A and B are shown apart, each in its own frame.
Chain A
Amino acid sequence: MADSNAPKPSSSVKLVLLGEAAVGKSSLVLRFVNNDFQENKEPTIGAAFLTQKCNLPTRTIKFEIWDTAGQERFASLAPMYYRNAQAALVVYDLTKPTSLIKAKHWVAELQRQASPGIVIALVGNKLDLTNDSESGQAESEGADGEESGDARKISTEEAKTYAEEEGLLFFETSAKTGHNVSEVFTAIANAIPETSLKSTRGPGASSAVNRGGDEQRVNLNGPREAAKEGCAC
């Protein structure tokens, strides 16, 4: 999917990853960009930047991915990274209930502070640690992780309901096995409204943007109508 076909129109999309520490943000990116997985990935300091192309039938999207640090105290740096982002991946760890709470905080922060049209995807990672990893996630609903071997603590239903309420894309993934990873990015690519795609970020387009980082327009629209066709659930 990383091949680019010359004739198709190409546009770049700024995407930011947010979520609690060690939920696998960097691993998701690494899987998406290099189709690779590292057991002990160094923690991200500040943020890491990577790019990857995503081919859609009609166009090519070049993701500029900002992978942020997850530790709580780095949160105050986040506005620097989600500034002007058109898409956000808010990641939680299926096996850690606190990480979903943190994810909800991020969603609220983005809805209030980020660019108005931002497309947000909620991603539950580490599906490989749950029982439904082999069987696929179809039957995963209501799984409560009590049985041995199943570390799942957040049911698909719970997260999905929340995602629907807030108008988010929703996926459960495993960066380790690669399950659902590229689907997330494809869905986001599809969900980006055509209108917000400028060919590439040009100097003119962005010069008007205040550099303050904290002074973005406030989005009062609440949960937006996000395109749902990419949702694989």
Chain B
Amino acid sequence: MFNNLSSFVQKAQSAAQQLIDPMQGLNLTNSDRHPSKASLFQNQFRLPSSQTPLYEIPAELTIPPSNVTQGDKERDRGWHYAGKLHLSEFYMCFSTTPTSFTQSASPSSAAAFTGQTHGAGPSGNGFTFPLCAIRKVERLNTQSLQFALAITTWNGISQESVKDKDAQKDKKDFREQRITIQLAGSRPACERFCDGLKKGLRNAVGSVGKYKKVISECYSEYLLRPEDKKNMNPPDAGLGMIFRYPGDPKKLRDRAKMRLWAEYLRDNGRNATLIRQPTFHKLIRVGLPNRLRGEIWELTSGSLYLRLENPTLYVDTLAKFEGKESLAIDEIEKDLNRSLPEYPGFQSEDGISRLRRVLTAYSWVNPDVGYCQAMNIVVAALLIYMSETQAFFLLSALCDRLVPGYYSSTMYGTLLDQKVFEALVEKTMPILWEHLVKSDVQLSVVSLPWFLSLYINSMPLVFAFRVLDVFFVEGPKVLFQVGLAILRINGEELLDAADDGAFISVLKSYFSRLDESAHPKSENPKLRAINRFQELMVVAFKEFSGVTHSTIQDLRLKNKDAVLNNIENFAKRTAIRNLGPDSKLLSPEELGALYDRFYGILYERQQRDHIIQEQLARTKASRARATETYPEHHNHGIEKGRVGLGPSTSLMDYDAFREFLASVSKWAISDAPAASPRRDVSEKDRGSYFGSFRRSEPNLLSPWGGNPEPADHEFMQRLFRRWDVDSSSTLTLQNVVTGFAHIKGKRDIMGTITYFFELYDDDGDGRVDREGILRISEALLFLSRRGLEGSLSNSASTPTPNGLSESSSSSLTPPIGGTINERFLGSVSAFIRRCFEYADPDHPNNQTTNEGTSPSNTDEPAGDNNSAFAIGDDEDEEEDLLAFEGPTDSPKPEKKKPELGDTIPPALGKPDTDNEARRAVSKAQSEKANAALDPSNPLHITLPTFRMVVLADELLEQFFESSFPTSLHLIDGLASTNQSTSSLTTFSNMGFGRTSGAPPPVPQAGMAGAGRSLRGVLDNIVTDASRVAAEVRRRMEEAQRELEKNAVPGQRDEEEEEEEDVQGLRPTGYGGDPERRSVRSSDRDLLDGADAGAGAAKNPEGQSQLNVDANGVQDARPRTSSSATQRIVEFEG
């Protein structure tokens, strides 16, 4: 049930995402369907991902007649091949297969392929020369042809032999490799190519030394050495040199093969300078000789070029991470003793430690993959034939290109290829397939290890290596061809097998008899000599020659989504189940939705990031070289982020967190319209993540894609920090779940209040200081600025037992929604006031001084502040508060309104006009003032106070009880409620219609000034509700300073005529309002000296402002002031 629901939700959500983000639906398969030409180019020549095709030109390759030792007449004339010559940054490649990678060429002309490897590897005849392997290029003067180049390579010229005096002597049996290439393009095209080549060669000169060092580790260099120099130590050709190579060399006819290869290499160049001719592929098919095997694997897989690119990477990596530990290392350690344990080399410390080093080094360079069981077996096999360094790079080539995703942390490549394999079986052997389905035999349980360990564990080693020989040159399709051939050959017996057990035992016994004759009873001795493995190879490559690289690519594409979905469902199930006890506070649906949202956002962000990066690269590239450039760089990263592909990241940073919140809560969506300057600022603040770039491509490249821009409020930062329990600046799914569980899970108001309090209790000492109180109120305004959700009683204030509230309910109970917002503003301001009223001073000693000086204490001795919060007192307070509440509650604003009417106008008028001046003055004054009265005088509230203050207000109570937890829409997100763009309008609409229904404003002369001055404030406020809070705060500080100024007795006397507001305030706080006074005196025990007094005193101001703001937001400006006025009037009346 859970499953169904969550998958439904997932579907709905992904559908929604596609609507929101047009890229979403495409990007998964984008790179698959349209692989970049660069990646096709890299694939064909097995080049590192740094290489892009720069120039290409039709050309004819002429390989001169070979050694004099060859008597063959045919060969004397040499060989000619027509094909295409390609140039990349660091390579010149020739291939006879008709492939084009130019920018103008269609992708299909690059992908369409007829060669043996079908685009999966070096095919046809030709070469892949690193430019640094080219010794010189001469332009030949031929009459018939416009352009002919003679290319001489460093083939066979080792470092020593150059210096060697005997070099001349060697020349006798050494012929330098020199080929000619006739370019067949137009003259300008030829010249362009030559220019490119010249430039490339110049750049490559510096790498010649590196090249020579790299090839000196190739066994062929040793093999082709003149006999008299063979006394040198041969390069490392694997553990086999020490522990013998598997199999009987005689039976393998190793010597004969070696001889053939030596001859071929002598004629056609060795390692990096090897030229592929038809014999090359044939020699590979019959099996490589032991000592050359590693080198040819390295060459055909292209890992040689990786090594050439960064020869010291292996050694450097080991050195860099020496002594470091990781999970991968633990896992590797477990398997070291169980990797090809039957091979003597892996019963020795030497072999084991080689294996350890290669696996460890790889786990460091590719932490996403780390270590996967089966890699130990593959690497162990490689190490029999090659050095550690070679094995390291070959492992990279395997993981990145040959069997991508096989060893990833989700193994999606493995699972995908199993689906592909099943599809191929169904297509090519329908009867067998039907039988498998009917007898409920799951093919992949048999075939999965074949692919994952490249047949190394399934077949006897000697045969598995033969498969690898072909696999490295022809690519992954070989694994499929061999697998299909195995099933085809055993078809009859498999049809008799009724269950998994029988099925497996048929294949097991087949593998164990691979070396037997395939036709033991044949009369024909030649036929009898063919063993089962040879038969297998013939069936694989003849009968299944139709299985090509593109067949496989197509099938992979087709099955990819289903496979990834399966993995993701499993991962989700597992992840949710393992989330720990906190997760139990949320419903399975909520967890599922949270999970989807969490990874959905990470995925989307990565996609966007990638697109942006690509754009950047493109712009850069096009700037760098305007023509004939291929902007696409390696595309490996394009799919990162999807869970099924392995968690390239499962950590959420703050920006992602904001985006996450914005997808579940209205309040987390930014108010700024997309193009507002404010946004640019905030963008820059974040470290020019997207730079100026965003502006040029507004939509696609918005850092938030199609999603609403999240707000960035201090509250969100606090939430993030709170959830980030290990202070890693990132959140895991667990963090997020725990975070939500604590807010939404308990549904208990006390819990939520405590949670809120703790959010603002920075040092965890159970106190929130003045700053914190203001921040809390800001947060409350921030969270409520788009209206409140959850169950709010409409009549929050009405039941209060006094007529005052009724009449002042002013708006004559205006329709619910509008007033709730309005009332909430009031509640918040009351909250601030009460917090200050009931706050404790941090230093009780100050208290006495405070009291002495504080005007608030005039009528009563301060009493014991600390005990004011004793439990017993709480009740009193409660009562007082309630009584107090009556007038204040919804009319809270009104309660103050009288004051507003009387006193605020001047107070407000001033700050708006000569704010700065005033501030400066008041600051100076406050400095002069008693230290205890300084606004920085520490003061705090404790959790019980906070709780009491919250509970004192019905609306706040409801906010904590229901509205805040409900504002997080985990399951349905904001899809339905999303009003991101119009939300502000909503807010303002919300109240306006309603207030407008209120009685017509009664203009009041006294208020005119206030109205006007308020308007200035409102101008700024209307666009951004959260500024209200800032404004409130500023005012309060000012008021407080003023107040303190007043509070100092001496200061009262020294009068400043100009400061009307000061005078205005004085009566407000302490004399002007009898009701307030009485409240205060009834609460006197709680009073806290100057601070409390100041807080109380400034509140009216803040409150009135809030009130007005609320109206202002709801209304067009002219109206605002008047409606505020009107209420005041009412109240007074």
Contact = CB atoms under 8 A, between A and B. Distances in A.
Q: Which of B373, B457, B566 has the most CB of A within 10 A?
A: B373
Contact of A109 (B2, B340, B415, B574): B574
Interface string B464-507: 00000000000000000000000000000000001111001000
A46 B449 contact: yes
A78 to B, nearest CB: 8
A43 B1 contact: no
Interface in A40-58: 40-47, 49, 51
Interface stretch (A66-74, A151-159, A162-170, A180-188): A66-74
Interface stretch (B215-223, B395-403, B434-442, B619-627): B434-442
Given A45-B449, A45-B457, A77 B438 contact: no
B904 to A, nearest CB: 63
Interface string A202-214: 0100110101011
B1054 to A, nearest CB: 73
B350 interface: no
A207 B440 contact: yes
A73 B122 CA distance: 33
Nearest to A79: B570
A129 interface: no
Given A46-B448, A49-B500, A207-B438, A112 B573 contact: yes
B411 A77 contact: yes
A165 to B, nearest CB: 15
B453 interface: yes
B814 to A, nearest CB: 50
A73 B339 CA distance: 18
A4 B227 CA distance: 67
Q: For the complex, would chain B's binding face be called helix, strand, loop or mixed by DSSP majority?
A: helix
Given A42-B377, A49-B504, A220-B1, A66 B442 contact: no
A42 B346 CA distance: 12
B278 interface: no
A45 B377 contact: yes
Contacts of B410: 73, 76
B577 interface: yes
Contact of B415 (A76, A105, A201, A209): A76
Given A76-B415, A203-B439, A218-B2, A42 B338 contact: yes
B976 interface: no
Interface stretch (A80-88, A140-148, A190-198, A222-230): A80-88
Contact of A84 (B331, B335, B440, B452): B440
Nearest to A42: B338
A40 B338 contact: yes
A105 B575 CA distance: 10
A73 B442 CA distance: 20
A21 interface: yes
A203 B500 contact: no
A169 B980 CA distance: 55
A20 B440 CA distance: 28
Contacts of A203: 438-440, 498
Contacts of A112: 573, 577
A64 interface: yes
B569 interface: yes
Contacts of B414: 77
A201 B441 CA distance: 11
Given A45-B374, A112-B573, A218-B1, A77 B415 contact: yes
B500 A80 contact: no
Contacts of B794: none
A30 interface: no
A76 B499 contact: no
A201 B466 CA distance: 38
Contact of A43 (B335, B504, B566): B335
B444 interface: yes
A125 interface: no
Given A51-B501, A71-B331, A109 B372 contact: no
A109 to B, nearest CB: 7
Contacts of B408: 73
28 contacts: A42-B339, A42-B457, A43-B334, A43-B338, A43-B373, A44-B373, A45-B452, A46-B445, A46-B452, A47-B448, A49-B501, A64-B500, A64-B501, A71-B373, A73-B408, A73-B410, A74-B411, A76-B415, A77-B411, A77-B414, A77-B415, A112-B577, A113-B573, A200-B499, A203-B439, A211-B437, A211-B442, A213-B566
- Give me the 5 closest cross-chain CB pairs, A-B, nearest first: A206-B440, A46-B448, A45-B449, A40-B337, A46-B449
